[in-house]
């Protein structure tokens, strides 16, 4: 078999297996063909072409991703959460057109949106959606996706299509099992896994993740005329793409709503995750008449299904003591798979929350992931109570140090009254060294605990007086690890004042407020003399934050801590450059809460602010988005009560690239 025939043979069988799910040969026979191809290309490297199946093996290591400007904007969809909102969409469409159009209804794949470009039927470039206008060139990683054809089965001068890269439920479980065995952090859900895989600089890693894709739209085409969405999907299938559609059109909105309901019913049986269904006007000339807004088409809408809820049993309610002394109750329940990930714990926020929902130890409860992100207890299934359930009571003493606890009037939080509580000290230092704060690499909770247990430190400032020989003898710390940690501590001395201010752990002062305050006052020293009124004049800094800041800097212990840090050579000045890279998020206000899968709060904040957005520390009616991670607390509940949109890190990637 000659080279061209061999490539076509392998491409045919790849499509049968990965796109049509109808293999015609065994895995062994396919592997034999691939070995034959690789052997030939090894002997004749000058003959290797861009459409060769060998290009799917991966192995290219990039220094970074180049930016790609999308000729056709990759818009997001308007969301609908109820039947009424879908009917409102239909009314807007019919009012504009003067008649009722035909609709297509499709699965909304929960993955990462990408653009694929072909010239003379050969795959040339693939990029992420990014902010819709500018994305990242991830061509080498997309080449490893077996369901993406490197050469089309039709002749076309130029074609750009849009698709959704995803990881199947089965492969997601396999990847997480392997990562768990290797001691690596598991992915929160398939979407995050797909996003992280596609942004790997080593394409071999992307290849190992078994990414898949569904293509759902033609962005641009030259050399062919397409008049309807259904015709476009038919063409995409003929070209060799994996397309998801039942080819059914709906002449009225009620039938389209019926299809949405049907998709919701079969959702758990699908081998991939969906987070909704999309209604699209079929006729492309109708779409032209309807037009678009700045970010969303007026001819389509995404119906989002309610959060998946599962039943489980609460085995215990345990208390976690935070760095500010707050005692937070957490429910520990039988592990259960919800919205693509296994959860076994959820915060119960405070005593009032537990009482309002009448949550007891031993209760059977419904749990969900709020915003498909944050585990939460929805309600108790009281009809399944046996009488053996136990009413929970907040402890009267701190479970860590045994000191009395106190609840201030008007507050829901119960706090440990001992400022020297080991839990507070440990959490305070963990916060100080975290990525959002002083960013001391290698200084995790276990290291903090070891330093405290061995009396090497009694405050955050003591870190800067450590020597490599002081810590090299600790368990699992060797000379090289000790030297690396000391170097990381030394490097942190040059951080901007805002990082230090946030690291101090002052109540109500988040990273955003710390940046604003640092930029306004210029130095840590100035904070010892500044007044509440002067602080309140700073944009987005209120009276509560101002009082908390001034109270903190009036303490003798604060002066001692700052003197020690200053004596160690820690920077006390503002070095900020507040100029955003662009204004993609201009006018939008974000709040970040919980632990994000891959981004530290500092990184997420920088990403938002460098694109013109604003990050604040508290949720209000002025907040546009809450970026929520695992273990989110009261900010999530407040956002939901105010109707603030809750998004995940993956959603943030979609908005920003």
Instruction: Please list the active-site residues.
Output: 108
Is residue 623 within 8 Å of 586, Cβ to Cβ? no
Q: DSSP letters along 333-345, please?
A: EEEEEETTEEEEE
Backbone CA torsion sign across 447, 450, 456, 459: positive
- Bridge partner residues of 309 (DSSP): 368
Neighbours of 86 (CB within 10 A): 20
- Bridge partner residues of 104 (DSSP): 249, 280
> What 3-state class would DSSP assign to 346?
strand
Torsion of CA 189, 194, 195, 200, to 10 degrees: 130
Neighbours of 19 (CB within 10 A): 20
As a whole number of angstroms, the longest Cα–Cα distance in the chain is 84
* Residues of the chain by 3-state class (helix, strand, coil), percent to 5: 40, 25, 40
Q: DSSP letters along 231-264, please?
A: HHHHHHHHHT--B-----EESSHHHHHHHHHHHH
- Write out the two tokens for 325: 């002394």
Beta-carbon contacts of residue 623 (< 8 Å; ≥ 6 apart):
589, 590, 591, 616, 639, 642, 644
Instruction: Return the H-helix or E-strand segment holding 194.
Output: helix 190-198
Is residue 6 within 8 Å of 40, Cβ to Cβ? yes
Backbone CA torsion sign across 413, 418, 423, 427: positive
Beta-carbon contacts of residue 327 (< 8 Å; ≥ 6 apart):
319, 320, 321, 394, 395, 398, 399, 405, 413, 414, 415, 416
CA-closest candidate to residue 653, choices 630, 618, 627, 635? 627
Q: Strands, DSSP E only, in 282-389? A: 300-304, 309-321, 327-338, 341-347, 360-361, 364-370, 374-380
- How many Å apart are CA 125 and CA 143, to the nearest integer? 9
């Amino acid at each position: 078999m000659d080279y061209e025939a061999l490539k076509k043979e392998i491409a045919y069988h790849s499509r049968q297996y990965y796109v049509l799910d109808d293999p015609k040969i065994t895995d062994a026979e396919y592997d034999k063909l691939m070995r034959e191809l690789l052997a030939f290309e090894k002997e004749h490297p000058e003959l290797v072409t861009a459409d060769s199946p060998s290009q799917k093996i991966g192995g290219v290591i990039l220094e970074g991703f180049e930016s790609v400007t999308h000729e056709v904007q990759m818009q997001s969809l308007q969301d609908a959460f109820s039947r009424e909102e879908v009917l409102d969409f239909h009314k807007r469409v019919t009012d504009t057109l003067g008649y009722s159009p035909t609709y297509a209804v499709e699965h909304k794949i929960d993955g990462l949106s990408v653009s694929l470009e072909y010239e003379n039927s050969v795959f040339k470039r693939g990029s992420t959606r990014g902010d819709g206008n500018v994305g990242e060139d991830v061509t080498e990683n997309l080449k490893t996706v077996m369901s993406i054809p490197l050469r089309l089965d039709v002749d076309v001068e130029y074609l750009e299509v849009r698709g959704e890269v995803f990881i199947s439920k089965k492969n997601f479980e396999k990847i997480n099992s392997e990562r768990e065995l290797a001691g690596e952090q598991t992915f929160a859900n398939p979407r995050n896994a797909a996003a992280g895989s596609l942004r790997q600089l080593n394409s071999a890693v992307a290849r190992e993740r078994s990414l898949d894709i569904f293509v759902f739209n033609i962005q641009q085409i030259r050399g062919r005329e397409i008049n309807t969405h259904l015709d476009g999907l038919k063409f995409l299938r003929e070209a060799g793409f994996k397309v998801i559609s039942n080819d059914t059109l709906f002449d009225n909105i009620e039938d389209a709503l019926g299809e949405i309901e049907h998709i919701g019913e079969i959702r758990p049986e699908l081998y991939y995750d969906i987070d909704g269904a999309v209604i699209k006007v079929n006729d492309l000339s109708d779409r032209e008449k309807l037009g678009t807004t700045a970010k969303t088409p007026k001819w389509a809408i995404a119906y989002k299904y309610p959060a998946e809820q599962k039943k489980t049993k609460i085995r215990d309610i345990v208390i976690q003591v935070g760095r500010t002394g707050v005692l937070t109750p957490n429910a520990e329940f039988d592990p259960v798979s919800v919205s693509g990930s296994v959860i076994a714990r959820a915060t119960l926020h405070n005593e009032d929350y537990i009482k309002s929902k009448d949550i007891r130890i031993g209760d059977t409860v419904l749990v969900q992931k709020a915003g498909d992100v944050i585990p939460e207890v929805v309600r108790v299934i009281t009809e399944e109570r046996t009488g053996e359930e136990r009413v929970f009571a907040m402890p009267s003493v701190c479970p860590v140090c045994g000191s009395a606890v106190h609840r201030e009037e008007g507050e829901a939080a119960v706090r440990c009254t001992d400022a020297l509580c080991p839990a507070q000290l440990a959490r305070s230092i963990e916060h100080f060294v975290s990525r959002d704060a002083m960013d001391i690499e290698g200084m995790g909770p276990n290291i903090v605990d070891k330093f405290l247990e061995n009396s090497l430190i009694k405050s955050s400032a003591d870190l800067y007086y450590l020597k490599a020989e002081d810590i090299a003898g600790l368990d699992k710390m060797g000379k090289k690890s000790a030297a690396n940690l000391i170097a990381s501590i030394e490097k942190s001395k040059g951080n901007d004042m805002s990082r230090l201010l946030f690291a101090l752990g002052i109540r109500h002062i988040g990273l955003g407020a710390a940046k604003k305050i640092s930029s306004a006052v210029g130095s840590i020293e100035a904070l010892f003399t500044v007044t509440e009124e002067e602080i309140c004049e700073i944009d987005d800094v209120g009276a509560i934050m101002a009082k908390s800041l001034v109270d903190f800097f009036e303490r003798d212990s604060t002066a001692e801590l700052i003197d020690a840090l200053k004596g160690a050579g820690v920077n006390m000045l503002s070095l900020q450059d507040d100029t955003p890279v662009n204004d993609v998020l201009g006018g939008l206000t974000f709040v970040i809460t919980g632990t994000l899968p891959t981004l530290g709060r500092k990184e997420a904040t920088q990403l938002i602010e460098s694109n013109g957005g604003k990050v604040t520390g508290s949720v209000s009616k002025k907040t546009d988005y809450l970026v929520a991670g695992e273990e989110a607390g009261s900010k999530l509940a407040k956002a939901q009560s105010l109707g603030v949109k809750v998004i995940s890190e993956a959603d943030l990637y979609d908005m920003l690239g």
